[in-house]
Amino acid sequence: RLFGGARGYAGGSGPGLLEEAEGGMALIEDAHRLHPELVQRLAAYLATGTYARLGGGRERRGTVRLAFQAPSEQALSPELTAVTTLAAIRVPSLRERPEDIPALLDHLFSVEASRGGRRMTLTSKALRALETYDWPGNIREMELMVSRLAVTAPEERIDIADIPPEVLAEGERPPVLPEDAAELRDMERQQVLNALERHGWVQSRAARELGLTLRQIGYRIRKYGLAREGEEEV
């Protein structure tokens, strides 16, 4: 995705994001989770200003500036910080700016509607619940939740019962009848398992699809004893 592939490359040929973003900036999210091989390639690009497509090909000179999203500058690989001077931009978490939550939600609902979806709104109770949530995944988590609601909410008016239960405080969660609990657990287990299998058991990708954080999907994997075929259960 970043560097593209040379002609005949098994992973697919064509330009990568560095070529597509030439003259501008590319944002690399979750940069603290980059694969070591990718870190080495990015460090070489930062040091020399040149790169090649995967699988060979001519050396290319690039001017794309890179922005790395990570919990902190210290979370980035030392290989990246050693080859360039980083300017750290601290973005306040939603936990620090709860007054921004209603406007952000309204904007994200508008974006979802512009994609051909419904124009959703929140009841006052649902909005209060979302304003008191810590949002450990910040705006990314909020975006995923809105996308999830666009698919799962039965009405355009979002009420407390429509909000994903992991977002709600214990006292705000709708009661679950005992006879429904086992069925709900089975549904959630199958939902998590299906997402993991679709994404080759890459937890970060499965979590993104489900609107969960890594911590939340990790908890569910342990809770349901999920394991890849041929591996021991967690």
**For the chain, what percent of residues have pLDDT higher than 90?**
18
Low-confidence residues of the chain, pLDDT below 50? 170-180, 233-234
Per-residue pLDDT, 178 = 43
By the 10 Å C-beta count (0-12 exposed, 13-18 middle, 19+ buried), 161 is classed as middle
The confidence score (pLDDT) of residue 232 equals: 53
pLDDT digits (tens, 9 = 90+) for 161-186: 888 887 876 444 444 444 445 555 67
pLDDT digits (tens, 9 = 90+) for 58-70: 888 999 999 998 8
Where would I find the beta strands (DSSP E) of 102-195? 121-122, 157-158
pLDDT for the residue 48: 92
In the numeric block, which tokens belong to residue 63? 């001017």
